[in-house]
Amino acid sequence: MDPGTASTSWGLQLGVVLVFLLASGCQGLNHEGWLLLALKSQMIDTYHHLDNWNPKDPSPCAWSGVNCSSSSSSSRLAVVSLNVSNMNLSGTVGPGIGGLTELTSLDLSFNEFSGAIPPEIGNCSKLLLLNLNNNNFDGTIPPELGKLAMLTGCNLCNNRLHGPIPDEIGNMSSLQDLVGYSNNLSGSIPHSVGKLKHLKTIRLGQNLISGSIPAEIGECLNLTVFGLAQNKLEGPLPKEIGRLGLMTDLILWGNQLSGPLPPEIGNCTNLRTIALYDNDLVGPIPATIGNITYLEKLYLYRNSINGTIPSEIGKLSFAEEVDFSENFLTGGIPKELGNIPGLYLLYLFQNQLTGFIPSELCGLRNLSKLDLSINSLTGPIPAGFQYMTKLIQLQLFNNMLSGDIPPRFGIYSRLWVVDFSNNNITGQIPRDLCRQSNLILLNLGSNKLTGNIPHRITSCKSLVQLRLSDNSLTGSFSTDLCNLVNLTTIELARNKFNGPIPPQIGNCNALQRLNLANNYFTSELPREIGKLSKLVVFNISSNRLGGSIPLEIFNCTTLQRLDLSQNSFEGSLPNEVGRLPQLELLSFADNRLSGQMPPILGKLSHLTALQIGGNQFSGGIPKELGLLSSLQIAMNLSYNNLSGNIPSELGSLALLESLFLNNNNLTALLETEDSVVDNLASVDLSHPPLPRHPTRSVALWARS
Ligand SMILES: *[C@@H]1O[C@H](CO)[C@@H](O)[C@H](O)[C@H]1NC(C)=O
Ligand SMILES: *[C@@H]1O[C@H](CO)[C@@H](O)[C@H](O)[C@H]1NC(C)=O
Ligand SMILES: *[C@@H]1O[C@H](CO)[C@@H](O)[C@H](O)[C@H]1NC(C)=O
Ligand SMILES: *[C@@H]1O[C@H](CO)[C@@H](O)[C@H](O)[C@H]1NC(C)=O
Ligand SMILES: *[C@@H]1O[C@H](CO)[C@@H](O)[C@H](O)[C@H]1NC(C)=O
Ligand SMILES: *[C@@H]1O[C@H](CO)[C@@H](O)[C@H](O)[C@H]1NC(C)=O
Ligand SMILES: *[C@@H]1O[C@H](CO)[C@@H](O)[C@H](O)[C@H]1NC(C)=O
Ligand SMILES: *[C@@H]1O[C@H](CO)[C@@H](O)[C@H](O)[C@H]1NC(C)=O
Ligand SMILES: *[C@@H]1O[C@H](CO)[C@@H](O)[C@H](O)[C@H]1NC(C)=O
Ligand SMILES: *[C@@H]1O[C@H](CO)[C@@H](O)[C@H](O)[C@H]1NC(C)=O
Ligand SMILES: *[C@@H]1O[C@H](CO)[C@@H](O)[C@H](O)[C@H]1NC(C)=O
Ligand SMILES: *[C@@H]1O[C@H](CO)[C@@H](O)[C@H](O)[C@H]1NC(C)=O
């Protein structure tokens, strides 16, 4: 709206109100009353909060939301505050507001006002407080607001304002609190911000503010909260922030700030929270950070910070949470961290840290969450960890830790998540990990553990995931596991387990992933497996299982990966396989299955790999396999007794990378299109293989 039309429609409204007043025979209502009625005429007051705004009153001073001055110095009572907060009002705010020149407080917050903020508000030159937050105001911030030289608080948050923060903001020389988060404000922070000597709070998160942080911010010596998270700020953090000695909160996460952390940050000795995560910061953590005596929360994660963690970190004796994860930190974990009595959370995962885990950490009586995963740490898990009573989450995966797990782990702490996977840990699984009945995740996969799974683990009721693959564990499949109501994952692959898979497996109602591959499980697959209605992954490859495949397994209709390969299953592949429409991997390779391949295989439209080589299937290849349009990884039918034509329909498997039909008695011609042949990374249709022909309509013979 340009100012011309604004004043025209404003004049019109005033006229309408005047005519109305004359018609109703009223003489008394003062000028400010008219202005308020004109404002009301543009508002929609569904819940009748403003019904007592009566044109017959001589003044608006008794109207709801309105207060007048009580000073006797002025001959007339002037409206000094207007508060219609939280009245479900909608519509727009008219320019008449600018006529209320004695206003000190204007609160329109928590309504549904839309349209622009009227620039005329700038005429309310005595305003101390302006709350327009939590509405649907759109448009830009009018530069005229800069005229509000007495304004101390300006709250515009949770609107739809766009455009830049006007430079004129620097003229609001009394401003203490500037709140404008959750809008679409753009442009850069005006340099004039340095003129706001009284500024205490800047909260402008969740906007589109770009550019770099002006050095002038260092002139706002009273700034306590500096919040601009989730914007598009770039460039370095200016060293001038070191002058902000009263600052308690530095909240700039989720920007694109680059460059190193200025050592001057150590001069901000009143900081309680530093949240600089999710930026592009580089360089070292300055040692001066240790001077920020009262710091409670230090979040530097997800940057590109490198160098070593300074030992001065140990001077932060009030720190509760320290998170340096997902950076490029090198060197050791400073033992001085053990000096921080209140430390509750320490996340250093995904760095390049080396050396031993300092045993000094064991002195941290309040430490509850420790994650040192994905580093290059060596040496043992400190024995003292087992006595840390508050520890609930301990993640040390993907390191090079060795030695045994301290045997009393779990006795003194309510362990909840324990992940030591991908290390070189030896010895046995401590039997008390679940002693406090709180354990949900136990991942000790890819280590060198031996012995049985302790009974107290297999009967741990709270357990959701049990992941022990790639160790040298022994024993049989405990039926206790089948009573754990929340268990979704059992991964025991590549160990030395033996004995049968018990029929009680059918009680594991919640089970989604069951991986028992590469063990010594024997006997037949129990038909109760069919009760696992949530099973997504089932892998019993490379065991010593036999007998026929129980039909009930095809009741597990959510299966995506079914791998029974390298066992001794016999009998035919039943038509019921067609009841597994979600299948992506189907492998029966290297068993003793016989009979015909069921054409219904062609209905498994999500299949990316079909592995049934190394059996005794006979008859022809069903042409329906040509319908498996998702097949990409491989189709392997080799080493069977298949005969007859290779159906030309296989030529439509456009994504397929590997096709193995060798070692059968297939004698037919396969007409392929270029695309098929081009995508095939490896083809073996024959024995010995025939050369590939890069021409259209390639004829490939397959003969065993
Ligand atoms: C009006 O003033 C009175 C007395 O100062 C105060 O209690 C009341 O909250 C004020 N109302 C508004 C709407 O500002
Ligand atoms: C306006 O009134 C609401 C209550 O309706 C109150 O919570 C709020 O503090 C008032 N605003 C001002 C600026 O006094
Ligand atoms: C605001 O509107 C909601 C329904 O949209 C209603 O439940 C609530 O009572 C209204 N509040 C006021 C203060 O009018
Ligand atoms: C009020 O503000 C408008 C727009 O900012 C301006 O054009 C107008 O002259 C002002 N009126 C008075 C009386 O100051
Ligand atoms: C800064 O804050 C202090 C303490 O709140 C106050 O005394 C002082 O007047 C403020 N300075 C400015 C320029 O606002
Ligand atoms: C701020 O920190 C820097 C570097 O750490 C230091 O040289 C400087 O003297 C400090 N300035 C003040 C005012 O404390
Ligand atoms: C701040 O920290 C640095 C480095 O640790 C130190 O040299 C300096 O003396 C400290 N300054 C103050 C004021 O504590
Ligand atoms: C940190 O990274 C910067 C920028 O990539 C590089 O110049 C500097 O040498 C690195 N410092 C260390 C200690 O690796
Ligand atoms: C485990 O230790 C062996 C030597 O015993 C070493 O070769 C291997 O790299 C180590 N693996 C891990 C993941 O630390
Ligand atoms: C299973 O999970 C549910 C939901 O998370 C939880 O309320 C319940 O306590 C858990 N059961 C056991 C035995 O831990
Ligand atoms: C499971 O499969 C068997 C054999 O295919 C069938 O007889 C039975 O009705 C199925 N059970 C359920 C619950 O679908
Ligand atoms: C292969 O099939 C042909 C007929 O197509 C048959 O004569 C021959 O005996 C078969 N060879 C073997 C090894 O089964």
DSSP class per residue in 328-397 = EEEEPPPGGGGG-TT--EEE--SSEEEEEPPGGGGG-TT--EEE--SSEEEEPPPGGGGG-TT--EEE--
End-to-end CA distance of the chain: 82
pLDDT at 667: 73
Q: Which atom of ligand 9 is nearest to the CA of 423?
A: 13
pLDDT digit string, tens, across residues 227-258: 999 999 999 999 999 999 999 999 999 999 99
Handedness of CA 232, 174, 94, 144 (dihedral sign): negative
Distance (Å, whole) CA 214 – CA 406: 52
pLDDT band at 650 (very low <50, low <70, confident <90, very high): confident
Q: Where are the domains of the chain?
A: 41-69+76-178+200-205, 560-701
pTM passes above 0.85: yes
Distance (Å, whole) CA 299 – CA 278: 9
Ligand nearest to the CA of 549: 11
Among 70-74, 125-129, 463-467, 498-502, which is the least confidently predicted range?
Answer: 70-74
For a mutational test of ligand 1's pocket, the pick from 66, 67, 79, i.e. the residue with the most ligand atoms closer than 8 A to its C-beta, is: 67
Residue 594 pairs with which residues in a beta bridge? 572, 616
Q: Which helix (H) or strand (E) holds 41?
A: helix 31-41
Q: What is the mean pLDDT of residues 555-575?
A: 96
Does the structure show a pLDDT above 60 at 698?
Answer: no
pLDDT digit string, tens, across residues 197-233: 999 999 999 999 999 999 999 999 999 999 999 999 9
Pocket of ligand 3 (CB under 6 A): 47, 86-88
- Expressed in angstroms and rounded, the spacing between residue 487 Cα and the centre of ligand 11 is 23
pLDDT at 70: 73
pLDDT at 27: 57
Distance (Å, whole) CA 288 – CA 418: 34
Ligand nearest to the CA of 483: 10
Share of the chain above pLDDT 90, in %: 85
pLDDT at 73: 55
Distance (Å, whole) CA 355 – CA 332: 5
Distance (Å, whole) CA 611 – CA 542: 14
pLDDT band at 680 (very low <50, low <70, confident <90, very high): low
CB count within 10 Å of CB 3 equals 11
Q: Return the structure tokens found at 167.
A: 């430079």
Q: Could you tell me if the CB of 286 is within 6 A of ligand 6?
A: no
Rg (CA), the chain: 36
Residue 345 pairs with which residues in a beta bridge? 321, 369
Q: Return the structure tokens found at 415.
A: 């362990």
- Expressed in angstroms and rounded, the spacing between residue 193 Cα and the centre of ligand 5 is 17
Does the structure show a pLDDT above 80 at 693?
Answer: no
CB-hemisphere CA count at 13 Å for 110?
5
Share of the chain above pLDDT 70, in %: 90
pLDDT digit string, tens, across residues 147-168: 999 999 999 999 999 999 999 9
Mean pLDDT of the chain: 91
Distance (Å, whole) CA 697 – CA 667: 18
Distance (Å, whole) CA 559 – CA 543: 20
pLDDT digit string, tens, across residues 270-323: 999 999 999 999 999 999 999 999 999 999 999 999 999 999 999 999 999 999
Strand 90-91 relative to strand 112-113, pairing: parallel
Length of the chain: 704
- Judge contact between 30 and 76, C-beta under 8 A: yes
Distance (Å, whole) CA 618 – CA 229: 66
Handedness of CA 42, 43, 48, 52 (dihedral sign): negative
Does the structure show a pLDDT above 70 at 78?
Answer: yes
Does the structure show a pLDDT above 70 at 412?
Answer: yes
Burial class (CB in 10 A: 0-12, 13-18, 19+), 71: exposed
- Judge contact between 692 and 698, C-beta under 8 A: yes
Q: Do domains 41-69+76-178+200-205 and 560-701 have the same CATH topology?
A: yes
Q: Whose CA is nearest to atom 7 of ligand 3?
A: 88
pLDDT band at 701 (very low <50, low <70, confident <90, very high): very low
- Expressed in angstroms and rounded, the spacing between residue 41 Cα and the centre of ligand 3 is 20
Q: Which atom of ligand 11 is nearest to the CA of 531?
A: 13
Distance (Å, whole) CA 673 – CA 116: 62
Q: Running DSSP on this structure, what letter comes out for residue 195?
A: G
- Expressed in angstroms and rounded, the spacing between residue 671 Cα and the centre of ligand 12 is 22
Does the structure show a pLDDT above 50 at 687?
Answer: no
Q: Could you tell me if the CB of 375 is within 6 A of ligand 11?
A: no
Q: Whose CA is nearest to atom 1 of ligand 11?
A: 552
pLDDT at 393: 97
Q: What is the mean pLDDT of residues 249-269?
A: 97
Q: What is the mean pLDDT of residues 456-471?
A: 97
pLDDT at 471: 98
Ligand nearest to the CA of 145: 4
pLDDT band at 684 (very low <50, low <70, confident <90, very high): low
pLDDT at 674: 41
Distance (Å, whole) CA 149 – CA 370: 50
Does the structure show a pLDDT above 70 at 540?
Answer: yes
Q: Could you tell me if the CB of 365 is within 6 A of ligand 10?
A: no
Q: Return the structure tokens found at 23.
A: 């018609």
Ligand nearest to the CA of 173: 5
Question: Domain 560-701 is in which class?
Answer: alpha beta
pLDDT digit string, tens, across residues 11-24: 445 444 444 444 44
Nearest to 279 by CA among 296, 295, 300, 293: 300
Q: Whose CA is nearest to atom 3 of ligand 9?
A: 424
Does the structure show a pLDDT above 50 at 406?
Answer: yes
Interior angle at CA 160, CA 217 and CA 206, nearest 5: 45
Amino acid at 385: F
pLDDT band at 72 (very low <50, low <70, confident <90, very high): low
pLDDT at 651: 83
Among 356-365, 396-405, 570-579, 646-655, which is the least confidently predicted range?
Answer: 646-655
State whether CATH 3.80.10.10 applies to domain 41-69+76-178+200-205.
yes
pLDDT at 682: 58
* More confidently predicted of 548 and 70: 548
pLDDT at 11: 47
Does the structure show a pLDDT above 70 at 143?
Answer: yes
**Which residue carries 């929270």 as its tokens?**
273
Q: Which helix (H) or strand (E) holds 67?
A: strand 66-68
pLDDT at 685: 57
Distance (Å, whole) CA 111 – CA 86: 5
Burial class (CB in 10 A: 0-12, 13-18, 19+), 75: exposed
pLDDT at 99: 94
Q: Return the structure tokens found at 500.
A: 């049968």
**Which residue carries 């989604």 as its tokens?**
512
**Which residue carries 């019109």 as its tokens?**
12
Distance (Å, whole) CA 328 – CA 280: 12
Amino acid at 320: E
Does the structure show a pLDDT above 60 at 10?
Answer: no
Distance (Å, whole) CA 661 – CA 614: 11
- Expressed in angstroms and rounded, the spacing between residue 357 Cα and the centre of ligand 9 is 17
